[in-house]
Amino acid sequence: MTDSKYFTTTKKGEIFELKAELNSDKKEKKKEAVKKVIASMTVGKDVSALFPDVVNCMQTDNLELKKLVYLYLMNYAKSQPDMAIMAVNTFVKDCEDPNPLIRALAVRTMGCIRVDKITEYLCEPLRKCLKDEDPYVRKTAAVCVAKLHDINAQLVEDQGFLDTLKDLISDSNPMVVANAVAALSEIAESHPSSNLLDLNPQSINKLLTALNECTEWGQIFILDCLANYMPKDDREAQSICERVTPRLSHANSAVVLSAVKVLMKFMEMLSKDLDYYGTLLKKLAPPLVTLLSAEPELQYVALRNINLIVQKRPEILKHEMKVFFVKYNDPIYVKLEKLDIMIRLASQANIAQVLAELKEYATEVDVDFVRKAVRAIGRCAIKVEQSAERCVSTLLDLIQTKVNYVVQEAIVVIKDIFRKYPNKYESVIATLCENLDSLDEPEARAAMIWIVGEYAERIDNADELLESFLEGFHDESTQVQLQLLTAIVKLFLKKPTETQELVQQVLSLATQDSDNPDLRDRGYIYWRLLSTDPVAAKEVVLAEKPLISEETDLIEPTLLDELICYIGTLASVYHKPPSAFVEGGRGVVHKSLPPRTASSESAESPETAPTGAPPGEQPDVIPAQGDLLGDLLNLDLGPPVSGPPLATSSVQMGAVDLLGGGLDSLMGDEPEGIGGTNFVAPPTAAVPANLGAPIGSGLSDLFDLTSGVGTLSGSYVAPKAVWLPAMKAKGLEISGTFTRQVGSISMDLQLTNKALQVMTDFAIQFNRNSFGLAPAAPLQVHAPLSPNQTVEISLPLSTVGSVMKMEPLNNLQVGSGQGRHPSPYSPTSRAPLGSVEGRVYRQMFLATWKDIPNENEAQFQIRDCPLNAEAASSKLQSSNIFTVAKRNVEGQDMLYQSLKLTNGIWVLAELRIQPGNPSCTVRLSLKCRAPEVSQHVYQAYETILKN
């Protein structure tokens, strides 16, 4: 008969009977009684009253009975600590038993009894077991050290158990090695500051040797430990990858994922030019595909991990699209995850196959799946431009089915397609308007309202359509109300005569009848804009929209790198770092991928670099800055930041928009002249910002002018040049240059009177420019300027003026002179370039260089520049161009440099200097998210290095 009989008894007085049986002289009866006690304990009955009687049964040679008693002890020792002390002698005795199974059982049980009083008695037996001749006992004792450390960390350190544990990494038995690694990893996780796993090439070699022979869980412990190791160079990384690769064919999916994690991490250090790199990519695909033939739960975990891998290295699975096609019997959670990966792998080569599949999915019965499939068609259109027409055609076919939820999803994605490809597919608007009455979901209604407002001039009855939505304004969701308000304001700006009543109605509803603060605030902004300056309202509300990104749901690069380090763990399923869901201090050590040290990319890693970054610091990417105002006006404004720039998404807004078309549409195409004349003044885009000042959030901080001391020591100041000859300004000659004095930018002017009469009432005016530069004070000439007299004036400048994109970018249009009619002139001085905040850590430099697209890289040559690397670095640093690292490659000195322009735009540079080169040519590579500035940065480099 099976042991199930022990779980069926529910007699009264059972405890008394069990007590009698436990004290019986017959061994069999005793064993039966202990089984009954364990059964009662398992189903939740309180049998703690039998503690002394069960402990008495410990004195036995029967291994099965001993295991049962130990099980009971582990459960009740915490509630009966004083009684548990009674068992200590037996434990100590069992730790010296000739049977290794009993020795291991005793030390394991003592480790599981979490009672402080027992721990001191555990030390001696544990020390003996750690050096036991039997490997089974040693591997059990290794895990016991981790358990004891959890109860009393100080005791473990005092007794020297950690050193013994480190010695076990060199043990001859692979399972002992695996358990020692697991125990040390567990302890290191709870004490991140302790450098317990001090791995070196020798210990790594021992771990890799043990990897082939230990059990599957032992292999996982060792692979996880290897993933935390940082190889010293690409050769060692390749050697480790070669020895780990066979684990990819293991039957256990956890071993496979752990091996993938190690390979993904070390691939960062391999050059893409290596043959081995390509081989490794090919070897990674089959094991990942094999994981998808497991049961659904395992498939889901595999798919969540594959989702991360595909975002990091899509080339691994680019030929495996078919395995992600959905099967009819897949659970919904697997279907949705497969769909997500299909879109990530979609490319011009396979888009026809993908679209045919997605169209099929859109006719399924599962509503959630159909919605996601329709949305996926839209995402494909945005990702693969060549497929956009086919996708739109497919979406129109789906709209014709008149299935409500299909129509609504299609309208939502078509809105995004309009934004990605303006003036291309608007011919379908009529079809969309036919389905207006069937829309009942907020997102679909909001999308349709946006389309009607955005393309009101193409829709004859746009006012009637929007008015129909307005009838139930207060019943709509906030999303729809906000969209409706903006759409009607757009309509009014496009057709003001026909829609005045409509716009007054919606503004009244939004401001007077609404309790929602967001809606009310937006209503008041529009009301004030329309009532005070309709032209400005038009420029703001109808401003050109930035194109939407190809992949809006990609994980932010720094977070993705961290999650790659957690492949095969819960973090890779949640797509969140452990710190987001693990409470307390355990398991929240931040991990990051190693920097690429031998890459085919043009930025080689500076090996001997003064990094200044603490070990283990995240390789942040220099971010773009953008806040609500920046988004609204397309200006380069950022939120307050202190310290090094925070890692954010690499999608650019402010920096690019400052130099893109946004300002043209905002400020008008033609520059305003002063006194009826247009004129051009000095290029000043590159004026240094302040020492250590935080990045501000308004126009006044574009150049960061809040503090600072004196002129930057050694920085290049161009000699004064004649900006306005006397013949053009009624006898007034103006020379000048730009400097920084006491924390502010100044225009140093020299005024010479070459006329025959005295000059008075001097004035200066600045036109709108790319950086909002304007005089911070009036031009003050304290005495009249006599004929042939010269006066020197320093005019402080601020950045609170109007902003407008200039061609070229660093043009400043200025007029100076007497009275109301200043004379225009064209200064040619080139100002100092960067901000003192332009220094970055080496890791951040590398991450940012990789993050900026290759097409943004510009190459230049500076001829006749006979400087060595040290002299060039010193000269550039005086103008706030900072050398991040220096190395010598094939006889060329390579300087890796960073600078931050005073409008917040970052530029990264690679300077190649050939010592002893008779042509004295310096090669300069520049990478910047706003490539328009590269030409001006190159000119500044040339000016600084040659002067």
Q: Give yes or no for residue 405 having a pLDDT over 70.
A: yes
pLDDT category of residue 688 using cuts at 50, 70 and 90: very low
**pLDDT score at 155:** 84
Helix axes 332-345, 351-361, angle to 10 degrees: 150
Q: Which residue has the higher pLDDT, 650 or 269?
A: 269
Highest mean pLDDT, choosing among 55-69, 343-357, 659-673: 343-357
Contact between 594 and 621 under an 8 Å Cβ cutoff? The reply is: no
What tokens appear for 77 in the block? 């020792």
Specify the range with the lowest mean pLDDT, choosing from 182-186, 549-553, 857-861: 549-553
Q: Give yes or no for residue 300 having a pLDDT over 90.
A: yes
Q: Which residue has the higher pLDDT, 742 or 245?
A: 245
N-term to C-term CA, the chain: 99
**pLDDT score at 814:** 78
Mean pLDDT across 776-805: 78
Amino acid at 868: N
Please give the order of strands across the beta sheet that includes 922-928. 857-862, 922-928, 906-913, 892-900, 882-889
Mean pLDDT across 493-520: 87
**pLDDT score at 256:** 93
What tokens appear for 7 in the block? 């779980």
**pLDDT score at 304:** 94
**pLDDT score at 708:** 35
CA–CA dist 173, 702 (Å, integer): 64
Mean pLDDT across 917-942: 82
**pLDDT exceeding 90 applies to what percent of the chain?**
10
**pLDDT score at 19:** 76
CA–CA dist 556, 369 (Å, integer): 26
Mean pLDDT of the chain: 77
**pLDDT score at 578:** 87
Q: Give yes or no for residue 364 having a pLDDT over 60.
A: yes
CA–CA dist 564, 717 (Å, integer): 48
pLDDT category of residue 802 using cuts at 50, 70 and 90: low
Q: Which residue has the higher pLDDT, 629 or 795?
A: 795
**pLDDT score at 308:** 92
Q: What angle do CA 221, 224, 227 make, to 5 degrees?
A: 150
Mean pLDDT across 326-341: 90
Specify the range with the lowest mean pLDDT, choosing from 94-98, 220-224, 690-694, 812-816: 690-694
pLDDT category of residue 233 using cuts at 50, 70 and 90: confident
Q: Give yes or no for residue 227 having a pLDDT over 50.
A: yes
**pLDDT score at 1:** 44
Contact between 657 and 635 under an 8 Å Cβ cutoff? The reply is: yes
Which CA distances in Å does 684 have to 182, 188, 324, 718, 924?
A: 60, 53, 55, 12, 22
**Interval 549-595: pLDDT, tens:** 666 567 888 888 889 999 999 999 999 888 888 876 554 566 777 77
Contact between 774 and 800 under an 8 Å Cβ cutoff? The reply is: yes
Specify the range with the lowest mean pLDDT, choosing from 14-23, 152-161, 620-629, 641-650: 641-650
H/E stretch holding 504 = helix 500-511
Mean pLDDT across 31-55: 80
**pLDDT score at 757:** 82
What tokens appear for 509 in the block? 């509803």
Domains and their CATH numbers in the chain: 3-242 (1.25.10.10), 458-548 (no CATH), 721-825 (2.60.40.1150), 842-946 (3.30.310.10)
**pLDDT score at 194:** 66
Q: Dihedral through CA 150, CA 99, CA 93, CA 158, nearest 10?
A: -30
**pLDDT score at 258:** 94
What tokens appear for 676 in the block? 């009826």
Question: Which segments within 553-594 are labelled E, that is strand?
Answer: none
H/E stretch holding 522 = helix 517-532
Q: What count of residues does the chain have?
A: 947
351-358 own/partner pairs: CB under 8 Å, 24+ apart: 351/380, 351/384, 351/386, 351/387, 351/390, 352/387, 352/390, 353/321, 354/321, 354/380, 355/380, 355/387, 355/390, 355/391, 355/394, 357/325, 357/326, 358/394
Q: Which residue has the higher pLDDT, 261 or 606?
A: 261
CA–CA dist 611, 617 (Å, integer): 11
**pLDDT score at 153:** 83
CA–CA dist 153, 157 (Å, integer): 6
Full 3-state SS string of 910-926: EEEECCCCCCCCEEEEE
**pLDDT score at 524:** 92
**pLDDT score at 723:** 80
Mean pLDDT across 91-100: 82
- Bridge partners (DSSP) of residue 898 are 882, 908
Phi, psi of 553 (to 5 degrees): -110, 20
Mean pLDDT across 823-837: 56
- 762 CB contacts (<8 Å, ≥6 apart)? 751, 779, 781, 785, 816, 817, 818
pLDDT category of residue 263 using cuts at 50, 70 and 90: very high
**Residue 685, phi-psi category: left (phi > 0), alpha (psi -120 to 50), beta (remainder):** alpha
**pLDDT score at 611:** 37
Q: Dihedral through CA 301, CA 304, CA 310, CA 311, nearest 10?
A: -150
H/E stretch holding 796 = strand 790-798
Query: 574-589 in b/e burial notation, b at 16+ Cβ within 10 A?
Result: ebbbbeeeeeeeebeb
- 242 CB contacts (<8 Å, ≥6 apart)? 276
Task: Map tokens 């005089």 to a residue.
Answer: 775
Highest mean pLDDT, choosing among 189-198, 822-831, 929-938: 929-938
